Amino acid sequence: MTITNFTVDGFKNLKNINISPAEGVNVIHGRNAQGKTNLIEAIWILSGAKSFRGTKERDMVAFGGEFARLGLTLIDSEREQKIEAVISKNPRERKITLNGVKQRYLSGLFGALKCVVFTPEDLELSKGSPDNRRDFIDLCVSQIKPAYSRTVLKYENVLLQRNTLLKNISQGVSPASDLDVWDEQMARLGAYISVLKYQYTKKLNIFAKKLYEEISGGAESFGLKYCSTVYENLEGREDWSGEMAGEYLSLLKKNRVEDIRLGFTLIGVHRDDVGVYINGSAAKDFGSQGQNRSAALSMKLAQAYILSEETGEMPVILLDDVLSELDKSRREFIINKLGGMQIFITCCEPAGKLKGRRFEMKNGETFNKTRVKKSKNEKIEEQIE
Ligand SMILES: Nc1ncnc2c1ncn2[C@@H]1O[C@H](COP(=O)(O)OP(=O)(O)OP(=O)(O)O)[C@@H](O)[C@H]1O
Ligand SMILES: [Mg+2]
């Protein structure tokens, strides 16, 4: 999948940008705070996913501005697709279309532009908080199964309601029996999510293991393990609406008294984790910084490979400031492994030896360096790419 044109105006500090990216590598360089990450974020937003920076929709609009306008044309293996979004401080004025068809929310765009974004925070994936790994797997699953994100939203809503109720029960405001209706919903949704997350982790393990072993020159072994707080073993289990929901429900009932005492739900898919192991030991406890970085790289690359395999489309890769954080061999490894995919790389000046179509970002505007050189007949673009 290739983005052939991208426009953005009024998104954070970005102004009047209209670029035609190359099919291969695109390098966005410039000094700090010029808008490089904003550009990556603007592309990512059009994939329909939540901002990787946690930016709320109203904060995407430029300070003092009314609207942010974004547009993108992409070509996938079947057709050309057009995505347009006008984001407003007033949510009622938002206008989003996918191939001319109106969408109520940005999330309605999900599934058209397939993207994998990689930020310096992702380098903490294997050793950081379990929340990051949970969100990572949730995003990966929803990219190959768009309806999944709605299930997760429903689960989160049920969890919120249940936790509020637990507090009310402990204060004597509500009877414990009010939990029944929430527990049943939570059990069904939780069982379904557990199955999908387990199956995805299994697949991720196959791809990431191969990649990690390659990065380490075959010297180290790698493994991922889905750690469920509800099920002892998820292998081969799929009956989420029957037996599995029943087990989930029994456990919720068993823990009721404790949950009421604590005021929150102690077990459930929201507390599951994915364990990352290097040479058989937990990477977060025993891995070196380099080993954890290689683990994170392998997991993110595996995400791109699985997305490609499952959807038949090579995703667009967004690398925000990641390469500068890595040593030469890991840098080469990642670029090598992403061969054939369209890549957007941001980096600070000087852009170094990175090859690709260059865009300089200055005060929220982009300048295509490659085109300037071409018009001067100094170097043809093909030589740079
Ligand atoms: N809503 C907004 N309106 C206008 N400007 C904004 C808004 N939100 C953030 N900015 C500005 O965007 C700039 C940061 O842009 P960005 O994070 O993309 O920089 P960068 O080029 O990636 O820098 P670095 O190299 O440090 O990562 C800041 O100057 C910030 O004030
Ligand atoms: Mg940045």
Q: Distance from CA of residue 155 to its chain's centroid? A: 19
Identify the burial level of 132 via C-beta atoms within 10 angstroms of its C-beta, where 0-12 means exposed, 13-18 middle and 19 or more buried.
middle
Last residue of a domain, one of 259, 282, 312: 312
Same domain assignment for residues 217 and 301: yes
Phi, psi of 30 (to 5 degrees): 160, 175
User: What pLDDT is attached to residue 245?
Assistant: 98
Same domain assignment for residues 125 and 109: no
User: What pLDDT is attached to residue 365?
Assistant: 96
User: What pLDDT is attached to residue 146?
Assistant: 86
Given a contact cutoff of 8 angstroms between Cβ atoms, the answer to whether 51 and 45 are in contact is: yes
Which residues fall within 8 angstroms of residue 39, CB to CB, at 6 or more apart?
Answer: 8, 14, 17, 28, 344, 346, 361, 366
Same domain assignment for residues 169 and 274: yes
Q: Does residue 36's CB lie within 6 angstroms of at least one atom of ligand 1?
A: yes
Same domain assignment for residues 125 and 273: yes
The domain total for the chain is: 2
User: Order of strands across the sheet with 316-320?
Assistant: 115-118, 316-320, 343-348, 25-30, 357-362, 365-368
Same domain assignment for residues 273 and 131: yes
| Distance of CA 33 from the midpoint of ligand 2 (Å) | 7
Last residue of a domain, one of 312, 335, 354: 312
pTM of the model: 0.92
> Is the N-terminal amide bond of 91 cis, ω within 30° of 0?
no
Identify the burial level of 73 via C-beta atoms within 10 angstroms of its C-beta, where 0-12 means exposed, 13-18 middle and 19 or more buried.
middle
Q: Does residue 366's CB lie within 6 angstroms of at least one atom of ligand 1?
A: no
Q: Does residue 38's CB lie within 6 angstroms of at least one atom of ligand 1?
A: yes
Same domain assignment for residues 333 and 278: no
Same domain assignment for residues 250 and 270: yes
Ligand nearest to the CA of 15: 1
What atom of ligand 1 comes closest to residue 62's alpha carbon?
A: 3
Pocket test for ligand 1, best of 12, 17, 43, 359 (most atoms within 8 A of CB): 12
Query: CATH no. for residue 58?
Result: 3.40.50.300
Q: Does residue 13's CB lie within 6 angstroms of at least one atom of ligand 1?
A: yes
- Give, for all 385 residues of the chain, the pLDDT tens digit: 999 999 999 999 999 999 999 999 999 999 999 999 999 999 999 999 999 999 999 999 999 999 999 999 999 999 999 999 999 999 999 999 999 999 999 999 999 999 999 999 999 999 999 999 999 999 999 999 988 999 999 999 999 999 999 999 999 999 999 999 999 999 999 999 999 999 999 999 999 999 999 999 999 999 999 999 999 999 999 999 999 999 999 999 999 999 999 999 999 999 999 999 999 999 999 999 999 999 999 999 999 999 999 999 999 999 999 988 888 888 889 999 999 999 999 998 765 667 899 999 999 999 886 644 444 443 434 333 3
Last residue of a domain, one of 312, 337, 372: 312
DSSP three-state, residue 312? coil
Given a contact cutoff of 8 angstroms between Cβ atoms, the answer to whether 360 and 372 are in contact is: no
Same domain assignment for residues 149 and 231: yes
Same domain assignment for residues 84 and 144: no
Its domain, for residue 199, covers 121-312
Same domain assignment for residues 269 and 145: yes
Same domain assignment for residues 104 and 143: no
How far apart are the C-alpha atoms of 315 and 56, rounded to whole Å? 25
Same domain assignment for residues 200 and 342: no
| Distance of CA 140 from the midpoint of ligand 2 (Å) | 23
User: What pLDDT is attached to residue 379?
Assistant: 40
Q: DSSP assignment of 87-99, as one string? A: EESSGGG-EEEET
What atom of ligand 1 comes closest to residue 348's alpha carbon?
A: 25
Query: CATH no. for residue 130?
Result: 1.20.1050.90
Q: Does residue 34's CB lie within 6 angstroms of at least one atom of ligand 1?
A: yes
Q: Rg of the Cα trace of the chain?
A: 23
